[in-house]
């Protein structure tokens, strides 16, 4: 049975540009009641409506309950990385839910900085011990998906996992450029498997009976905001300059966090793909049906009802990106990462332009798909680099320049 997008009943995916077909996106600047948005006040109302629509249909409702947190500094090194950094390990405990594990934050602050440093805040995929070779970082004892070459045994990290993703976190470069870095394992907030919610924040907040109960992506986004709460109490960082960053599934979370929480001064979405940066209605790479099938715990129950009718979704992902406006936003793709749909990520960014214009800002300022390894745009930036689904030095070089120009 062919749907409006030529998708069959099977969750098949398409890598053929000629088969993408046409699609109509929901109009960013027209409210559900048909009112046209013409100014910032109108957009701020529409913005609230869009957050609700994403909560009801995609990510689920983020519980608004204020949660009591306790920050415990576990370890401080006043001279880490050969004197480059002050490094802290802080655990964020949930006072009213002692059964929950804390979020273990790893924070690096440039020692040379004379004033509070702007900070990149991003969750990591395999524990804080994965982002650095420094052996005095506690090895995470939490559930992990099984990794390669003995880096896990029975879903727990081993010593071999140290520095496993160091390449994705050029900590020294970040510090030398004057930025702090705060990271935590995303599985501290919820382990990434269908039953992970039972040991995470969703076991105590939310309502599993509701079709708009939050999913894991929503929980990870919420966790980023809790780390932002902590950063606001940390004198060595400038909490008015928090750059939320994330790759792939964590990029989806970073976008949803930035959409809801304006304390994220800027957002970087590295290859966030389907249900992140890429347009859902564009039939290329991963689909809504595919993501809901492979990762049934990521989104709210209602999202699955759109599996075979994406055209009925009241939102599309350009509207998620626009929720970041007027703040700086970086959307990045990789040429070989067709699963994330690079062009769909670019087009999504293009669509944000009228919202940034309401604020007198230029978003991308172009509709021309750039050449590979070329960063384009103004307040919204985009690049498609050569290579695979990953985070590379090239990516970070663009993000640091973007932050230098728009955040500092």
Residues designated as active site: 248, 389
Q: Which of 89, 126, 123, 92 is nearest to 108 (CA)?
A: 89
Residues 229-248 that bind ligand GCU (CB under 6 A): 248
Which position has the token pair 């501290």?
188
DSSP state of 133: -
The CB-of-271 to ligand GCU minimum distance in angstroms stands at: 7
Between CA 156 and CA 142 the distance in angstroms is 6
Question: Do β-strands 180-185 and 156-157 pair in parallel, antiparallel, or remain unpaired?
Answer: unpaired
Which is closer to ligand GCU, CB of 250 or CB of 350? 250
Tokens of 223: 């966790």
Which is closer to ligand GCU, CB of 286 or CB of 353? 286
* Residue selected from 269, 291, 320, 347 as contacting ligand GCU according to rule CB under 6 A: 291
Phi, psi of 67 (to 5 degrees): -110, 135
DSSP state of 82: T
Which is closer to ligand GCU, CB of 249 or CB of 327? 249
CB 349 within 8 A of CB 297: no
CB 348 within 8 A of CB 321: yes
Which is closer to ligand GCU, CB of 63 or CB of 251? 251
Q: Which of 348, 352, 400, 344 is nearest to 379 (CA)?
A: 352
Kindly indicate which of the ranges 90-98, 224-232, 286-294, 309-317 contains the residues binding ligand GCU, using the contact rule CB under 6 A: 286-294
Q: What mask of x and - would describe binding to ligand GCU in positions 310 to 339, judged by CB under 6 A?
A: -----------------------------x
Kindly determine how many residues on this chain lie close enough to bind ligand GCU according to the rule CB under 6 A: 8
Phi, psi of 303 (to 5 degrees): -55, -35
Between CA 132 and CA 64 the distance in angstroms is 34
Q: Burial-class residue 146 by CB neighbours within 10 Å (0-12, 13-18, 19+).
A: exposed
The CB-of-94 to ligand GCU minimum distance in angstroms stands at: 26
Q: Is 286 in the site for ligand GCU (CB under 6 A)?
A: yes
Which is closer to ligand GCU, CB of 110 or CB of 191? 191
The CB-of-352 to ligand GCU minimum distance in angstroms stands at: 20
Phi, psi of 207 (to 5 degrees): -145, 105
The CB-of-14 to ligand GCU minimum distance in angstroms stands at: 15
Q: Is 297 in the site for ligand GCU (CB under 6 A)?
A: no
Residues 164-203 that bind ligand GCU (CB under 6 A): none
The CB-of-256 to ligand GCU minimum distance in angstroms stands at: 13
Which is closer to ligand GCU, CB of 55 or CB of 291? 291
Between CA 301 and CA 213 the distance in angstroms is 7
Question: Do β-strands 237-247 and 117-124 pair in parallel, antiparallel, or remain unpaired?
Answer: parallel
The CB-of-345 to ligand GCU minimum distance in angstroms stands at: 11
The CB-of-389 to ligand GCU minimum distance in angstroms stands at: 6
- Annotate 361-384 with b (16+ C-beta within 10 A) or e (fewer): bebbbbeeeeeeeebbbbbbbbbb
Which is closer to ligand GCU, CB of 249 or CB of 308? 249
Q: Is 273 in the site for ligand GCU (CB under 6 A)?
A: yes
Tokens of 51: 């957050």
- Where do contacts with ligand GCU occur on this chain (CB under 6 A)? 248-249, 273-274, 286, 291, 294, 339
């Amino acid at each position: 049975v062919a749907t409006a997008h030529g998708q069959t009943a099977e969750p098949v995916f398409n890598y053929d540009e000629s088969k993408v077909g046409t699609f109509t996106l929901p109009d960013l600047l027209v409210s559900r009641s048909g009112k046209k948005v013409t100014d910032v006040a109108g957009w701020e109302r529409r913005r609230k409506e869009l957050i609700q629509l994403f909560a009801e249909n995609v990510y689920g409702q983020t519980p608004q309950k204020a949660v009591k947190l306790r920050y415990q500094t576990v370890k401080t090194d006043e001279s880490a990385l050969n004197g480059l950094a002050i490094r802290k390990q802080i655990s964020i405990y949930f006072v009213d839910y002692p059964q929950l594990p804390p979020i273990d934050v790893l924070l690096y602050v440039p020692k040379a900085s004379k004033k509070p440093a702007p900070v990149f805040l991003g969750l990591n995929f395999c524990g804080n011990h994965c982002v650095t070779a420094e052996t005095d970082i506690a090895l995470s004892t939490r559930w992990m998906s099984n990794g390669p070459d003995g880096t896990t045994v029975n879903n727990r990290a081993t010593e071999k996992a140290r520095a496993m993703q160091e390449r994705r976190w050029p900590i020294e470069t970040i510090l030398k450029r004057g930025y702090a870095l705060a990271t935590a394992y995303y599985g501290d907030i919820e382990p990434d498997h269908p039953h992970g919610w039972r040991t995470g924040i969703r076991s105590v907040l939310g309502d599993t009976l509701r079709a708009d109960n939050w999913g894991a992506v929503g929980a990870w986004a919420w966790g980023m905001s809790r780390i932002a709460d902590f950063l606001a109490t940390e004198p060595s960082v400038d909490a008015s300059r928090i750059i939320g960053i994330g790759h792939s599934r964590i990029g989806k979370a970073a976008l949803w966090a930035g959409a809801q929480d304006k304390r994220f001064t800027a957002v970087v979405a590295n290859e966030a793909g389907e249900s992140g940066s890429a347009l859902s209605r564009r039939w290329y790479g991963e689909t809504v049906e595919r993501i809901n099938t492979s990762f049934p715990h990521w989104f709210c129950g209602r999202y699955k009802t759109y599996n075979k009718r994406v055209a009925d979704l009241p939102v599309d992902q350009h509207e998620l990106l626009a929720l970041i406006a007027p703040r700086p936003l970086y959307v990045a793709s990789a040429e070989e990462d067709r699963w994330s749909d690079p062009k769909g990520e670019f087009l999504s960014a293009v669509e944000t332009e009228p919202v940034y214009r309401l604020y007198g800002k230029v978003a991308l300022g172009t509709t021309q798909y750039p050449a590979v390894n070329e960063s384009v745009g103004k307040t919204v930036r985009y690049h498609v680099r050569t290579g695979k689904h990953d985070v590379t030095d090239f990516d970070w070089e663009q993000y640091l320049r973007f932050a230098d120009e728009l955040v500092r």
